[in-house]
């Protein structure tokens, strides 16, 4: 077989605000790969099928000198994130051709990897779409499940408030909370997203762009568990409407990712006065404790329809920039996935 194009999606420049396709990130089709003869050096060749686009990627689009919990993307190098690929050739006994792998992949059509321990071989006995394994059966589902178990201390009859509730993390949290008998207040950014959240069982769902979050919480609270995906003014409103000993699970703060002037909270003394528990976390820190149970149970719960999900699929690696921009601006509806190739 003659060499084939090995397209890549590259980090091109640090954005000042929202990332722009074709400027912040660019598609490059200059490289080729010989699928039959490319040296593996004891590794394995993978055809990338689908990659995930997640809010946290914006934090990696920074000056490499700035320190953070996650390494920065490098100018001129491919983006990378969770994905699923199929093994084409292998010189590693831990994986064989035809195996489907879940883990961190570069945003390119084909990759040669060496460390099989960085990947999970997906059996997919349930016959789920591979894209589900970068969504509710992957890191976003893990995020919801692990942190809810670890920090919510939820009791039947309590009140939970979930932000970004139509996204893959928020939507899963809504369902986990309802399964434990909580009253769930949920916010989303459009009327159709609100309807989706209602279909998941949320007791009170509202469009935060047209309805006052503070007024909803004053009426429906106080809240015992707050799942925060947005930060900013919403976090401030949650603090003002928290019950004594409420648990705040700080998963993300997307309202602050693309601004040069972060919102200054004015009521942090509420944490002291109401003895609130504030839990920030990174999913990887919780993974060793909960991963085995998650993969033993979650795929079946999704296949059975017990846990519902929604995807926002973008076709073609060259269109990854649109997916990234949509996630940061909230235009996506459901888990954002880029379908790189068919099986």
Range 223-234 average pLDDT: 97
Q: pLDDT band at residue 216, thresholds of 50, 70 and 90?
A: very high
> What pLDDT, on a 0 to 100 scale, did the predictor assign at position 318?
97
Provide the phi-psi class of 197: left if phi over 0, else alpha when psi is between -120 and 50, else beta: alpha
Nearest 5°: the CA angle 48, 50, 56 is 115
Residues in CB range of 181: below 8 A, 6 or more apart:
156, 157
For residues 191 and 209, give the distance between their C-alpha atoms in angstroms, rounded to a whole number.
10
101: helix, strand or coil: strand
Q: pLDDT band at residue 257, thresholds of 50, 70 and 90?
A: confident
> pLDDT of 273-307, one tens digit each?
999 999 999 999 999 999 999 999 999 999 999 99
Range 47-73 average pLDDT: 95
Q: Is the pLDDT of residue 80 over 80?
A: yes
Structure tokens at 291: 């991963």
Q: Is the pLDDT of residue 1 over 80?
A: no
> What pLDDT, on a 0 to 100 scale, did the predictor assign at position 2?
83
Residues in CB range of 284: below 8 A, 6 or more apart:
none
> What pLDDT, on a 0 to 100 scale, did the predictor assign at position 260?
83
Residues 182 and 203: beta-carbon distance below 8 Å? no
> What pLDDT, on a 0 to 100 scale, did the predictor assign at position 208?
98
Q: pLDDT band at residue 343, thresholds of 50, 70 and 90?
A: confident
Q: pLDDT band at residue 86, thresholds of 50, 70 and 90?
A: very high
> pLDDT of 118-154, one tens digit each?
999 999 999 999 999 999 999 999 999 999 999 999 9
Q: pLDDT band at residue 158, thresholds of 50, 70 and 90?
A: very high
> What pLDDT, on a 0 to 100 scale, did the predictor assign at position 280?
97
Alpha-carbon 299 to chain mean position: 17
Structure tokens at 64: 């490499």
**Length reported for the chain:** 343
Q: pLDDT band at residue 9, thresholds of 50, 70 and 90?
A: very high
> pLDDT of 298-331, one tens digit each?
999 999 999 999 999 999 999 999 999 999 999 9
For residues 21 and 138, give the distance between their C-alpha atoms in angstroms, rounded to a whole number.
26
CB atoms within 10 A of CB 63: 8
pTM: 0.93
Selection from 240, 236, 238, 227 nearest residue 265 by Cα: 236
> What pLDDT, on a 0 to 100 scale, did the predictor assign at position 89?
98
Q: pLDDT band at residue 197, thresholds of 50, 70 and 90?
A: very high
78: helix, strand or coil: strand
Range 202-209 average pLDDT: 98
């Amino acid at each position: 077989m003659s060499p084939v194009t090995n397209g890549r999606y590259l980090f091109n420049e640090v954005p000042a605000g929202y990332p722009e396709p074709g400027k912040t990130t660019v598609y490059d089709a200059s490289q080729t790969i010989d699928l039959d003869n490319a040296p593996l050096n004891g590794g394995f060749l993978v055809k990338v099928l689908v990659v995930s686009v997640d809010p946290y990627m914006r934090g990696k689009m920074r000056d490499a000198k700035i320190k953070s919990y996650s390494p920065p993307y490098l100018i001129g190098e491919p983006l990378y994130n969770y994905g699923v690929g199929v093994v084409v050739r292998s010189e590693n006994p831990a994986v064989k051709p035809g195996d489907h792998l879940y883990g961190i992949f570069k945003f390119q059509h084909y990759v040669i990897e060496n460390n099989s321990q960085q990947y999970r071989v997906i059996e997919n006995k349930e016959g789920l779409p591979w894209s589900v394994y970068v969504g509710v059966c992957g890191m976003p589902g893990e995020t919801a499940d692990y942190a809810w178990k670890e920090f919510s201390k939820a009791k039947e009859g309590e009140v939970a408030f979930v932000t970004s509730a139509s996204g893959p993390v928020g939507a899963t949290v809504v369902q986990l909370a309802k399964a434990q008998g909580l009253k769930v207040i949920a916010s989303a950014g459009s009327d159709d997203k609100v309807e989706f959240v209602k279909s998941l069982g949320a007791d009170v769902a509202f469009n935060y762009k047209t309805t006052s979050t503070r007024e909803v919480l004053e009426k429906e609270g106080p809240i015992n568990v707050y799942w925060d995906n947005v930060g900013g003014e919403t976090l401030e409103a949650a603090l003002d409407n928290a019950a004594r000993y409420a648990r705040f699970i700080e998963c993300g703060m997307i309202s602050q990712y693309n601004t040069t002037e972060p919102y200054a909270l004015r009521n942090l003394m509420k944490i002291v006065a109401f003895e609130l528990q504030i839990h920030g976390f990174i999913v990887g820190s919780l993974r060793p404790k909960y991963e085995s149970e998650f993969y033993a149970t979650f795929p079946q719960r999704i296949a059975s329809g017990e846990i519902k999900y929604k995807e926002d699929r973008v076709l073609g690696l060259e269109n990854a920039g649109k997916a990234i921009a949509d996630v940061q601006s909230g235009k996506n509806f459901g888990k954002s996935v880029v379908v790189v190739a068919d099986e």
